[in-house]
Structure 1
């Protein structure tokens, strides 16, 4: 009897335990905003006290007390979402909708397999993401680079030179060595790696997301990501019908008008979005006016559940007058708006320095969901461009009469990137793809204004065979960016100073494999590439010798990393090595077809460690890095000094620029970064960042100085740069910002930034960089929205930048020591050539959404 009772009790206990086990289930999933993971989101079982938070990668795991039920996901600034579950687990990715602005999941996101945003890889990196709302609020009358100023190890400067003239450094590396991608398409110049933001002013209107990945990043392409990778993700064809009209005004007669309309997803599967912007302004610096337009067209077609297509065309034709660095003393005497390019002609102040450009870009995205475990993404793109920079000259004229001429830089660029991704099992995935590019650049000088002369006679100096020929031209060409494609000189008589083409052909293969299980992740990436460079010079060589030999360079990179996450804490480490081909401008020396013996592959070694922590109230990210870069080529430019003009009177005139090129440079960059976001209450968000770097040159460099006609000034010199500080970026920076919602639809925000240990560019002589005074800036803004109806709203925004009107030096291009006999300002010799940052500026906008 006792045995029977024991058996009965054991059976009952087993049944109860079994029912309890069946009633409980571990539910897993991931929370994102449609583009990036959301860390610290709260996941709850409604009606219970059971809850958890998503980790740094947006993942969560929760034990549910019943087979069929619901979970609730909450995160500040996003609408709460309730998701049903049953016996199936995991439940997949949950996309939260922002409570302000347009939901990202209402946009047809294209190029998911191509665009390397951080969400695409589980192993963390040092990353910061700027949302569409932040872009729209913060840019105002500035370049799109201004959205990244509150990011660790990022320094933005040079805006004072004119519209679109800003430059950006990441971890001390200039933007020619930071990769920029537009929907997966590389946009750094293939000849020199540079990015001119005046050509991309339309991004402020069409970007839905900006993500900067500092250091090694997640990109699989063999690109210029020494400092980092910045991804611009544009709007695609919107699924929701509607549009908006927006009017903006700002200091110095800035005005901007934008209109946009979306058809929404129509019954035939098509969706069309279009946008047009017109802008103009006088510029902050004297005589730096500019004007332009931005256009955007996106046509999406959802073929079926497996195939999604999108064609995008955009461009930003513009012109703007330019400023350059000047002596500090002239700014102190004449104010920070002083422009050294201004001259008085017939009693009128004039600035002949002018940039004009038109660069239409088109890309076609195809997303193919092959099955539940594999996807294929492909983008085919094309870019054509025409434009240049105008200046006043006399040098090419035999008559020595003044005239205006533009140095033209036209190009045609075509490419395709394709990536196949497959999930092998629950823990292992891989992707593989290719990257093909073909580029042809065309360079020459043309006359834009004869300034009253009937014609000018210019000299052609041919190297092979050696000869001198004089040509006379009376033709002039337009600086209107809409006309430059059709208004171009065809004959030698109308092409001055130089006339050559650059051809770059590139092919690359890349791949990645990643493992993830129980909070542990590991990845390995690799790519190989072959690059061919050809230079065709019609000006210095006869037909038999105009084409250089083909220069072929093989390059590669490898990256790997590990991470471990537990309870909101994540530790990770990444390492990478690049053997990067030199740019064509460094392969051919003396602006001729001679191959440069110093142009070896650049060698980059990157190491980084990181820590992330996230919960509902706080996000903390700490990163440490070290990057060593050898065999690199650097360049800078500055107005010719009085000493240089006196030394080379036949090669330099007052107001001309001197270009400095340094070969064989080695740099060592290391530092620590911190960024924090705190949400103490629902309507308040506080953010902070800090970065401390130690960026120095090492070893010897060979330096060559040239004038604007690309003639060498003296013999090459060898300089020992060991221990010299890398300039053009603050090696110490920190800041904080806050956003507070006073009432619904009314919020205020402010940001503070401090910069120290800022050095000037490496000058054309000497082995020192000038240390500049530290400075701090405060920006502030207010937003208000009136909800007229369910579909209609009116939004207001007002910004003030450099609220306290601080006078500061943002960069320098010379090195002159402060002595007891020199005139000094804050420890700086006032004979140094510097650029002064903008004073207090403002802008306001009103937007009607329908």
Structure 2
């Protein structure tokens, strides 16, 4: 018995010694590279196991490993993962985590809806900009400015005024790129367009912006041609804290922002609130603007399985606008010239003001069903109110002395003309009298997006869900300034109000009051119609990944219905149009294969049958259905290679996109400053090209970035061209050969390089240079397009972060930006393609009759941000 006991004791001692020898104790301290401070709460996990710990308040950790040697993975929200080896008991010392350029774990709510590339095994053409870079470089610009250092992205139109930018991806306009807010579609339902002034607050509330060029990896039932841009906003912050920020810039720009979060409390509740106000005079004359942003988010963690988050945000704003004009006008009056404003009795008054308020609300629900499946759902709503002002009746150019010697509107002459009319009554039918009207675009939009994910097995994941939307838009005009008139006689304009009647009521163009202050039906002028659009889609995705190989297949089907009610062109019995219903679908698939430890190749392909936009279904903004409109057909092919190490990364992307049966629209103004619209139908485009992205970090304090893109974007075949005036009356219809014509509006060749160097601890300098070539006029589908001069832009920035407080957890950040450092004079966009002939006046070889935007010259801004 003693021998047996002794043997058991020896066996137990041997087993204990073996287990002890097979384990190790790994210690270290995790530091924030940006703050040079300990990073509490970082995750430390033994690779290949679920064995892990978190760093304490001082960034320290101790991990008892299950093996005597191996690797540990150190990660934290918004930082690059670090993998370190250990062998036996190991003290890893100080471990520094760098802020990364991905979106991994940025959001805690709606993760199943916010479809980001970081959860894709199959690589795609993607770029990501995180909050710190947005806050640093946005300055006085809108959110599109954060994407300018991205291959195949071209941003223009900033000269139009605050928020009037136009962003194109791979040569495709904004109505053909999908824009999402936390996975919620935000392109206009009627025409697919984006009005960035309505979203001026995104830069304040964004956690990150990700652009997936081309086919992308979005699981939603959307058919984007150029790509998908996802704006990921804050949700309810996990930790208590806040910030206060102030910035100033050129031409009296001022902005203040305050934010605070309770953090996720023990009760499971939390709240985050942010408010901001901005104002400025704009770069060009007569482009003043002002606005606010509000953001309120309430989160509730019911239990480990259920998270809820309710968010309300909006950005009420107004801004005065500048239009494209002849180069000869700029030569006469200067590069900041704007003919849309003047002075009435010594007071500034703009003819063209955009004002809008678009509150957005959504409720996110994340449900972790079990270890393998989850469901994410968002219910959302938005209510847009506002419009844009312009001339009604006789324009100032038709009035004696209506233009001053310096090319501005002579409002005093306009008022004198109005005072000379009998009874000071204008007449809309005879175009006598002159007033300022607003074209009002009100809407209510409700939707739901839901996505179910199931890990079928170790290698196969299934996603499927639905995208439902309903939209009601109301469009009409109303008077905002009678300029001395007593009213306008509207008789004979409307089918439902045929008898003469006087409209004398004026309405506010302030964004807050526009929510409720707008004209009733009997006070509306020029036109009045409603539109209803209903959309329903279902989508699904299978993704397979094993070892070095991965593949995915996505598909969706959708149906979209349209109807309109026109109260001006039709009697009450005939105001409702025919309801048009169109089905659509898309399929995408691809695969990738890892080449060694750092490289990966991929191929993707997709085919879309996309429904036409509402504005292309009904002819001339009437109830007449356009017989030429049919589903647009898009075929996309992509291939690429990525290589990534902690020091160097590169990606090469090749694409070919064929787009048939599409509609192209453009606008221009004539010698009298009247606006005209040109629509090309039945157009086919073929876009092909290559893209390169680079990142190199030779030393800890220096990061070098680069990009290049070369495209060949052309029209194919014939197109039907329809010309309309500002009141949407048809002037002409022609067939045109456009085969081989260059697609305009975006530079087809671009490259750039950027440097970010930390001079001393927490003080850095950065610079970006971009070059643009093969930029053609945005003049619709034409065979012989006008090529604009190439140009290059240089931006510089300085950043300094000062740690404050007893433990250094608070900070004050300072940022200075100087954009277009060399004050380059360049044409960013042209709406006409008038070729220069012998004897014509030219500017850099361009006929001076072309109507263009010049890009902004040298600008600056400075900001401070206190984080606590």
Residue 5 of structure 1 corresponds to none
Match of 1:795 among 813, 817, 820: 813
Do 2:78 and 2:104's aligned partners in 1 also have CA atoms closer than 8 Å? no
How high is the TM-score relative to the length of structure 1?
0.87
Secondary structure of the structure 1 residue equivalent to 2:628: coil
Is 1:700 aligned to residue 729 of structure 2? no
| Structure-to-structure mapping, 1:637-652, within 5 angstroms | 637-640=667-670, 642=671
Separation in 2, partners of 1:561, 1:656 = 49
* Pairwise CA distance, 1:471: 2.6
* Pairwise CA distance, 1:342: 3.3
Structure 1 residues 264 and 97: alpha-carbon distance in aligned structure 2, compared to 1, 3 A threshold: farther
Do 2:149 and 2:707's aligned partners in 1 also have CA atoms closer than 8 Å? yes
Q: Deviations over 1:264-318 (max 9, x none)?
A: 1111101100000000000001010000100001111111111111111100000
Residue 300 of structure 1 corresponds to 299
Do 2:744 and 2:780's aligned partners in 1 also have CA atoms closer than 8 Å? no
Is 1:419 aligned to residue 451 of structure 2? yes
Residue 501 of structure 2 corresponds to 471
Is 1:751 aligned to residue 768 of structure 2? yes
Separation in 1, partners of 2:77, 2:797 = 21
Q: Deviations over 1:470-491 (max 9, x none)?
A: 3311100000100112111113
Separation in 2, partners of 1:532, 1:108 = 34
Structure 1 residues 327 and 399: alpha-carbon distance in aligned structure 2, compared to 1, 3 A threshold: closer
Q: Deviations over 1:623-648 (max 9, x none)?
A: 000000000011111112x4xxxxxx
Residue 174 of structure 1 corresponds to 173
Residue 263 of structure 1 corresponds to 262
Residue 204 of structure 1 corresponds to 203
Residue 576 of structure 2 corresponds to 547
Comparing 450-459 with 552-561, which one deviates more in the overlay? 450-459
* Pairwise CA distance, 1:705: 1.0
Residue 655 of structure 2 corresponds to 625
Residue 785 of structure 2 corresponds to 769
| Structure-to-structure mapping, 1:557-706, within 5 angstroms | 557-566=586-595, 567-640=597-670, 642=671, 654-706=672-724
Separation in 2, partners of 1:201, 1:753 = 24
Separation in 1, partners of 2:652, 2:139 = 30
Residue 188 of structure 1 corresponds to 187
Do 1:108 and 1:239's aligned partners in 2 also have CA atoms closer than 8 Å? no
Secondary structure of the structure 1 residue equivalent to 2:562: strand
Separation in 1, partners of 2:724, 2:578 = 24
Match of 1:431 among 463, 479, 483: 463
Residue 4 of structure 2 corresponds to none
* Pairwise CA distance, 1:608: 0.4
Is 1:530 aligned to residue 529 of structure 2? no
Gap regions ≥5 residues in structure 2:
1-13, 25-31, 33-43, 48-64, 88-94, 395-427
Residue 505 of structure 1 corresponds to 534
Residue 409 of structure 2 corresponds to none
Q: Deviations over 1:219-245 (max 9, x none)?
A: 122324100000000001111111011
Secondary structure of the structure 1 residue equivalent to 2:136: helix
* Pairwise CA distance, 1:84: 11
Residue 66 of structure 1 corresponds to 67
Structure 1 residues 763 and 590: alpha-carbon distance in aligned structure 2, compared to 1, 3 A threshold: same
Structure 1 residues 622 and 341: alpha-carbon distance in aligned structure 2, compared to 1, 3 A threshold: same
Separation in 2, partners of 1:207, 1:196 = 17
Match of 1:491 among 488, 507, 521: 521
Structure 1 residues 469 and 97: alpha-carbon distance in aligned structure 2, compared to 1, 3 A threshold: farther
Comparing 329-338 with 668-677, which one deviates more in the overlay? 329-338
Separation in 1, partners of 2:101, 2:748 = 37
* Pairwise CA distance, 1:831: 1.4
Structure 1 residues 75 and 278: alpha-carbon distance in aligned structure 2, compared to 1, 3 A threshold: closer
Secondary structure of the structure 2 residue equivalent to 1:273: strand
Q: Deviations over 1:119-171 (max 9, x none)?
A: 23211110000011110011000010000000000000001100000010000
Structure 1 residues 102 and 557: alpha-carbon distance in aligned structure 2, compared to 1, 3 A threshold: closer
Match of 1:518 among 530, 533, 547: 547
Residue 134 of structure 2 corresponds to 135
RMSD between aligned residues: 2.7
Separation in 2, partners of 1:105, 1:828 = 47
Residue 61 of structure 1 corresponds to none
Residue 290 of structure 2 corresponds to 291
Do 1:77 and 1:98's aligned partners in 2 also have CA atoms closer than 8 Å? no
Secondary structure of the structure 2 residue equivalent to 1:277: strand
Residue 53 of structure 1 corresponds to none
Comparing 233-242 with 76-85, which one deviates more in the overlay? 76-85
* Pairwise CA distance, 1:335: 2.1
Separation in 2, partners of 1:105, 1:555 = 32
Residue 250 of structure 1 corresponds to 249
Comparing 185-194 with 390-399, which one deviates more in the overlay? 390-399
Structure 1 residues 423 and 679: alpha-carbon distance in aligned structure 2, compared to 1, 3 A threshold: same
Do 2:78 and 2:100's aligned partners in 1 also have CA atoms closer than 8 Å? no
| Structure-to-structure mapping, 1:29-48, within 5 angstroms | none
Structure 1 residues 219 and 284: alpha-carbon distance in aligned structure 2, compared to 1, 3 A threshold: same
Comparing 670-679 with 697-706, which one deviates more in the overlay? 697-706
| Structure-to-structure mapping, 1:335-354, within 5 angstroms | 335-343=334-342, 345=344, 350-354=349-353
Separation in 2, partners of 1:798, 1:460 = 58
Residues matched between the structures, number: 773
Do 1:76 and 1:682's aligned partners in 2 also have CA atoms closer than 8 Å? no
Match of 1:447 among 472, 476, 479: 479
Structure 1 residues 501 and 408: alpha-carbon distance in aligned structure 2, compared to 1, 3 A threshold: same
* Pairwise CA distance, 1:458: 1.9
* Pairwise CA distance, 1:604: 0.3
Is 1:407 aligned to residue 407 of structure 2? no
Structure 1 residues 461 and 397: alpha-carbon distance in aligned structure 2, compared to 1, 3 A threshold: closer
* Pairwise CA distance, 1:815: 1.6
Do 2:603 and 2:639's aligned partners in 1 also have CA atoms closer than 8 Å? yes
Is 1:160 aligned to residue 154 of structure 2? no
Do 2:102 and 2:128's aligned partners in 1 also have CA atoms closer than 8 Å? no
Separation in 2, partners of 1:129, 1:725 = 29
Residue 737 of structure 1 corresponds to 754
Do 2:157 and 2:829's aligned partners in 1 also have CA atoms closer than 8 Å? yes
Secondary structure of the structure 2 residue equivalent to 1:371: coil
Structure 1 residues 506 and 328: alpha-carbon distance in aligned structure 2, compared to 1, 3 A threshold: same
* Pairwise CA distance, 1:392: 2.0
Do 2:235 and 2:311's aligned partners in 1 also have CA atoms closer than 8 Å? yes
Q: Deviations over 1:206-229 (max 9, x none)?
A: 000100000001112232410000
Secondary structure of the structure 2 residue equivalent to 1:730: coil
Separation in 2, partners of 1:689, 1:107 = 25
* Pairwise CA distance, 1:816: 1.4
Comparing 73-82 with 342-351, which one deviates more in the overlay? 73-82
Is 1:117 aligned to residue 116 of structure 2? yes
Gap regions ≥5 residues in structure 1:
1-14, 26-32, 34-42, 47-63, 87-95, 643-653
Separation in 1, partners of 2:96, 2:674 = 54
Structure 1 residues 425 and 67: alpha-carbon distance in aligned structure 2, compared to 1, 3 A threshold: farther
Residue 239 of structure 1 corresponds to 238
Structure 1 residues 313 and 66: alpha-carbon distance in aligned structure 2, compared to 1, 3 A threshold: same
Structure 1 residues 476 and 186: alpha-carbon distance in aligned structure 2, compared to 1, 3 A threshold: same
Secondary structure of the structure 2 residue equivalent to 1:470: coil
Separation in 1, partners of 2:254, 2:545 = 51
Q: Deviations over 1:320-372 (max 9, x none)?
A: 00001011122123222111323455566643110000000011111111011
Q: Deviations over 1:703-735 (max 9, x none)?
A: 11111111111x311111101100000000000
Structure 1 residues 605 and 447: alpha-carbon distance in aligned structure 2, compared to 1, 3 A threshold: same
